[in-house]
Chains A and B, each alone.
Chain A
Amino acid sequence: MFDTPGIAEAMQSYVLETAPVLALRLDANQRVTAANAQARQILRSGAVGRPLAEQIVDFTHSFELSALINQGSTAVHRLTLSTASGMPETLCFRFFPLPDGTLALGSLDLKEQQQLRDEVLGLNRELNDLSRLLHQANAELRELNQVKNRFIGMAAHDLRKPVGVIMTYSEFVLDEAGDRLDDEQRGFLRTSLAAAVGMKRLIDNFLDVSVIESGQLRVERSRTDVGQIVEGVLPLVRLLAARKKIELHTEAGDDNRPLLVDVAKLQQVLGNLLGNAIEHSKPGQRVWLTAHRDDAELVFSVRDQGPGIAPEDQTKLFAPFARAGTRKTAGERSVGLGLAIARLVVAAHGGRLWVESVPGLGSTFFVSLPIAPGGDHA
């Protein structure tokens, strides 16, 4: 069928100029002496004139081109060539003997290419579908997290009132009828009162977290100064310090340059840091509250002489419900929300909260608030 005159010439011109087939003429030393258009495009420049074996990627180190050629023209050999693109390419070769050398013809395995393409497209589709699922799952989780925050907020809100009632009435009974009770009964009442106070603090923390996490934390700035802030904080912790016989020192009280911050929230942060410092100190030790202000920032620091915090725990400290390896000295309990809240409040002011500590030598917590060029803004 294909022996009609003209066919051989047509095939030759097609193979040499157009076909996606590599045609290489090799001399007796298997050096490439001529290459068709496709081969010149695919092989590295300078391929013609060099031995074919040099262009074959061989991992066995025992590659013998002549052994393959000697197997005759019916054998098909899978060979990998290094190409101009820098990527190796695997081709199926047949070697045809010539009087003065060899004709090498190679082509891509079309079936394999098809399989590969289908595989890649299938993978792409799966990946896209998975990515959709992932986005969807993320949205669902965000939704659930909001539900959780709303729930915590609602529960905390509803618990606040009855706890307040317990506190008020215990105080009331202690005040009004305390002298009609014996010591033991008064002790019971005081214990319930203390438990209620602790519970109220916990509930307030939950409420703060739910407000902050739902993105509803509002910073309400008002004009104040360092002196005012410190003055408001001390009463919150003085009793605690006195009870544990901790000496409280402040070096901050006389700065009355104007400042624009959320006073109540900042006092809550400093109160929390001071409370922590006291709770981690032993009777007789000291706690310092200092404030230092320059043109760019205001830095509060709270320093204690407690056991300090191991470096690996210092980063965990600020995560909600974190239980860093620190131990309060009188068995005080907490759920680990205070620092998480403090950090969020400080961040809402555009500031930073961090700790420096050497185990055995105490810890210092820093709150830095930026001062706007205007002078008073934090």
Chain B
Amino acid sequence: MSQVFSSEDVYRRYLDGLLSNNRQQCRECFEQWLAADAELGTLYENLVQRSLYEVGDLWERGRISVATEHLATAINESLLNLTYPRLFAQARIGKTAVIASTANEYHQLGAKMVADIFELHGWRGYFLGANTPLRDLLDLIREKGPDAVALSLTVYFNLDSLLQTAVAIRSEFPTVPILVGGQAFRWGGRDRVEGLPEVRCLASLSDLEAWLKDERNHV
């Protein structure tokens, strides 16, 4: 307990574990961070997201293999399981959200974290996984009647597919708020999605948390 928790040190050790395929080391760091009782949102952004962005950069520069990149993602994703006991124990506020990566989008971690942030704020966040066919998404929205739908986009070239999805949801469900986000929007596209009624583009998990707090004040 007396040991001072340094998020920078833990992050370095974590990344080192990811790059040397050392799952155990990663787990220790993850647990250390969790035990330091950090906000989950911070853990997601400053440990998981940061490390994966760095892994992506290293891979882009040819410094690591695809295999290592894949394993790093798998390790990160499986460690998210450790947050679930805390996540799902939050008191419910009776609201639901449906979250998905759209068709052709194989990156799913960002979307899963978005679903988790909903849970953390007392919503039920139903997460559909990567590459969700439009039909399945619409089915789930019909079944759950959510108070919000969130879509995640990583690859900019999938923007059209995201727009089609948003249009389809909007035409069947005229009022449900649609939130979109993800790193694709670093390359633009924000104005195109926000041209649709009741569609908001949020830049980060913190923006989502602000939106959720706002939403709570409105009821």
Chain A positions within 8 Å of B, measured between CB atoms, are: 117, 121, 124-125, 128-129, 131-132, 135-136, 138-140, 143
B14 within 8 A of A: no
B66-85 residues at the A interface, CB under 8 angstroms: 67, 70, 73-74, 77-78, 80-81, 84-85
CA gap between A267 and B77 in the complex, in Å: 53
> Tally of A-B residue pairs with Cβ under 8 A?
42
Q: Which one of A121, A125, A139 contacts B88 once the chains associate, using CB atoms below 8 Å?
A: A139
Give the bracket for the number of chain B residues in contact with chain A.
20 to 34
Inter-chain contact B88/A124, CB cutoff 8 Å:
no
Closest CB of chain B to A116's CB: distance in Å? 11
- Assess whether B186 is interfacial by the CB under 8 Å rule: no
In the complex, are the beta carbons of A121 and B74 less than 8 A apart?
A: yes
Query: Do the beta carbons of A128 and B124 come within 8 Å of each other?
Result: no
Q: In the complex, are the beta carbons of B74 and A143 less than 8 A apart?
A: no
Kindly name the residue among A121, A131, A138, A139 whose own CB sees the greatest number of chain B CB atoms within 10 A: A139
Which secondary structure dominates where chain B touches chain A?
Answer: helix
A129 to B108 Cα, complex, angstroms: 10
Q: Is the interface of A mostly helix, strand, loop or mixed?
A: helix
Contacts of B115 in A (CB 8 A): 132
At the interface, yes or no: B89 with Cβ under 8 Å from chain A?
yes
Complex contact A125–B124 (CB within 8 A): no
Decide yes or no whether B185 CB sits under 8 A from chain A.
no
Bound-state Cα–Cα, A125 to B131, Å: 12
A131 touches B89 (CB 8 A): no
How close is B133's CB to chain A, nearest CB, in angstroms? 15
Q: Which residues of B contact A (CB under 8 A)?
A: 67, 70, 73-74, 77-78, 80-81, 84-85, 87-89, 92, 108, 112, 115, 119, 124, 126-127, 129-130
In whole angstroms, what is the CA distance A105 to B98 when docked?
54
Smallest CB gap from B79: residue in A: A128
On whether the beta carbons of A131 and B81 are closer than 8 Å, the reply is yes
Closest 9 CB pairs between A and B? A139-B88, A135-B84, A124-B74, A135-B88, A128-B77, A129-B129, A131-B81, A121-B70, A128-B78
In the complex, the answer to whether A125 meets B130 with C-beta atoms within 8 Å is yes
Cα of A135 to Cα of B70 in the assembled complex, Å: 25
Q: State in angstroms the CA–CA spacing of A117 and B124 once bound together.
A: 33
